[in-house]
């Protein structure tokens, strides 16, 4: 950190000396190209004996026994054991391994595969090449890194030493790739729309503000891509999706990172019910492919199952108002504002003074329904005040044709029958703008006047989806580099 020689610990000093010893022997300590035949984990998994191989990886374990030694080479695919005997490689190479190399160093080996007495798939090393000398010691080989601050600030140490973390991020990557494939297979086109926007719309959230020097204008990091994707519907891109980052200037929590990954997809001529079908199919597909089935077990550190989420179809569907009546009383919506607050006190929901009726209802919904729903629940027909960009229901104009999918106690995915009437859309946004002091996106409203096809739309919070599917307790465990305060 300070980079001052005299403050370095003994451990660092010894590694520097080994580095110098390598150089003195004419060995390049930071390697170069090394062509490999297999990654370590793959080789171990699809093992064949008597195979000539070249493998590269980091030394994560070493067991030296006089004139023979074992060590593990590892990367994100897993590990493979290597065996070196002094007799085969000679004194020089053996001493290199035993005296100048350390846990943490990157090594390329060439040799032939075999199985040891104890049945461990291994590589019998004939020669090796140093690919990088590590100048700092690795975390504890058994416990790995558990200090949250180190896990998040120095994610590479977490990835080196914790298989669980590696698994989560590999799984996330596979899932994201599969989501893209799933949508592309159904004719959706992936697009990219502005992350820097003049008017940050598509959601009610505080944006991050920045400034473009050459244009001399403020810009905002997007809080949602929605209004741009709808412009593309107008443009005739009838099936589009975007899977990328949104930014919201809010507090951090176990469920919130200021930048998070969102999928939004729009399907012309569809509606919210068909979008619900699509989400259900997609999530079940991911669970079956990457979680071993539709029962998702969440476990604590000791491996005890703490929760099982049942994704078996069909998923429950229920109107918002019915759910609230179920927990707050059949006459809830007939109560006055004051009576609602009294009822809240009775059922243990905290509300504050100035709340409007729909806000009190929403509070009841969040505390008594959303946070307690772990198996999938499609909440339908939500009050229109909450969703200004969706079509109003024909039979009940106080609600909109949407679903909010709740799984694992969190909102995972909203889906709308998208509002495409430019006149109604303007009214709804102006109404909202009056309350929340938001700017109207006139360019968006202009586009709607050219005609946006009727459409269904969905959002899926990818981070929360991955949390649900992998059993991660915190969003920081599914985001590689979560936001932390500067130290």
Partner RNA sequence: GCGCGGGUAGCUCAGCGGUAGAGCAGUUGGCUUUUAACCAAUUGGUCCUGGGUUCGAUCCCCAGCCCGCGCACCA
Q: How far is the CB of 351 from RNA (least distance, A)?
A: 9
**Smaller CB separation from RNA, 35 or 350:** 350
Smallest distance from RNA to CB 436, Å: 8
| Residue count of the chain | 487
Closer CB to RNA, 33 or 87, in the complex: 87
Task: Please say which residue, 152 or 228, places its beta carbon nearer to RNA.
Answer: 152
Cβ at position 44, least distance to RNA in Å: 11
Give 129 or 474: the residue with its C-beta nearer to RNA: 474
Return the beta strands (E) in 34-163 as ranges.
52-65, 68-75, 78-85, 106-115, 121-132
Of the two residues 87 and 394, which places its CB atom closer to RNA in the complex? Answer: 87
Shortest distance in whole angstroms from residue 98 CB to RNA: 8
Q: Please say whether the beta carbons of 18 and 133 come within 8 A.
A: yes
- The secondary structure of 427-445 as a DSSP string is HHHHHHHHHHT----HHHH
Closer residue to RNA (CB): 287 or 364: 364
Q: Which is nearer to RNA, 186 or 367 (CB)?
A: 367
Cβ 461 to RNA, closest distance in Å? 11
- Helix or strand (DSSP H, E) at 164: helix 163-185
C-alpha 109/C-alpha 58 separation (Å) is 11
Q: Which is nearer to RNA, 39 or 388 (CB)?
A: 388
CB of 87 to RNA, least distance (A): 4
Count of Cβ atoms closer than 10 Å to residue 39 Cβ: 19
| Residue nearer to RNA on the CB measure, 15 or 172 | 15
State the maximum Cα–Cα separation within the chain, in Å, rounded to a whole number: 89
CB 264 within 8 A of CB 458: yes
CB-CB neighbours of 22 under 10 Å: 19
- Neighbouring CB atoms inside 10 A of 322's CB total 12
**Opening angle at CA 289, ends 285 and 292, nearest 5:** 115
CA pair distance 207, 269, nearest whole angstrom: 32
Q: Cβ neighbours of residue 43 under 8 Å, at least 6 residues apart?
A: 53, 55, 80, 113, 121, 123
Round the CA-based radius of gyration of the chain to a whole number and report it: 28
CB of 138 to RNA, least distance (A): 6
CB of 185 to RNA, least distance (A): 28
Residue 294 C-beta: closest distance to RNA, Å: 26
Which among 398, 441, 393 is positioned nearest to 417, based on CA atoms?
393
- Tokens 């719309």 correspond to what residue? 201
- 């980052």: which residue's tokens? 245
CB 125 to RNA: min, Å: 11
Nearer residue to RNA within complex by CB, 83 or 315: 83
In the bound state with RNA, the residue whose beta carbon lies nearer, of 102 and 271, is 102
Which residue in 46, 91, 97, 100 sits closest to 73, CA to CA?
A: 97
Taking CA atoms, 298 is separated from 55, 293, 313, in Å, by 35, 13, 20
Torsion of Cα atoms, 317 then 320 then 324 then 327, to 10°: 10
Which residues lie closer than 8 Å to 18 by C-beta, 6 or more apart?
A: 99, 100, 101, 102, 133
Nearest distance in Å: CB 149, RNA: 4
């Amino acid at each position: 950190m300070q980079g001052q020689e005299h403050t370095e610990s003994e451990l660092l000093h010894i590694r520097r000396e080994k580095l110098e010893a390598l150089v003195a022997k004419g060995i390049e300590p930071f390697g170069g190209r090394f062509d490999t035949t297999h990654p370590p984990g793959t080789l171990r998994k699809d093992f064949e004996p008597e195979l000539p191989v070249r493998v590269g990886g980091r030394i994560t374990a070493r067991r030296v026994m006089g004139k023979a030694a074992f060590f593990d080479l590892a990367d994100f695919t897993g590990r493979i054991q290597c065996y070196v005997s002094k007799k085969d490689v000679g004194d020089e190479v053996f001493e290199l391994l035993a005296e100048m190399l350390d846990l943490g160093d990157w090594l390329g080996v060439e040799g032939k595969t075999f199985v040891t007495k104890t049945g461990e798939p291994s590589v019998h090393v004939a020669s090796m090449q140093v690919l990088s000398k590590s100048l700092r010691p690795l975390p504890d080989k058994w416990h790995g890194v558990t200090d949250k601050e180190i896990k998040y600030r120095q994610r590479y140490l977490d990835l080196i030493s914790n298989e669980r973390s590696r698994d989560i991020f590999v799984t996330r990557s596979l899932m994201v790739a599969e989501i893209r494939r799933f949508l592309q297979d159904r004719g959706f086109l992936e697009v990219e729309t502005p992350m820097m926007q003049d008017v940050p719309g598509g959601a009610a959230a505080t944006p991050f503000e920045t400034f473009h020097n050459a244009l001399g204008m403020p810009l905002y990091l997007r809080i949602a891509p929605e209004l741009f994707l709808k412009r593309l519907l107008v443009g005739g891109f009838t099936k589009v999706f975007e899977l990328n980052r949104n930014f919201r200037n809010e507090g951090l929590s176990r469920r919130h990172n200021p930048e998070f990954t969102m999928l939004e997809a729009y399907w012309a001529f569809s509606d919210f019910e068909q979008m619900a079908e699509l989400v259900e199919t997609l999530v079940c597909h991911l669970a079956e492919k990457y979680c071993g089935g539709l029962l998702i077990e969440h476990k604590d550190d000791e491996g005890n199952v703490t929760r099982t989420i049942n994704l078996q179809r069909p998923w429950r569907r229920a109107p918002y108002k019915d759910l609230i009546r179920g927990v707050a009383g059949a006459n809830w919506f007939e109560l006055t504002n004051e009576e609602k607050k009294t009822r809240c006190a009775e059922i243990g929901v905290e509300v504050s003074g100035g709340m409007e009726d729909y806000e009190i209802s929403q509070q009841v919904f969040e505390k008594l329904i959303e946070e307690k729903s772990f198996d999938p629940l499609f909440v339908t027909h939500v009050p229109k005040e909450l969703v200004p960009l969706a079509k109003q229901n024909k039979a009940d104009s106080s609600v909109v044709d949407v679903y909010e999918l709740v799984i694992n106690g969190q909102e995972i995915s909203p889906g709308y029958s998208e509002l495409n009437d430019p006149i109604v859309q303007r009214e709804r946004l102006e109404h909202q703008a009056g309350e929340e002091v938001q700017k109207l996106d006139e360019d968006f409203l202009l586009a709607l006047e050219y005609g946006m096809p009727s459409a269904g739309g969905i959002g899926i919070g990818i981070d929360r989806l991955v949390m649900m599917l992998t059993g991660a307790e915190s969003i920081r465990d599914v985001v590689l580099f979560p936001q932390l305060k500067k130290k």
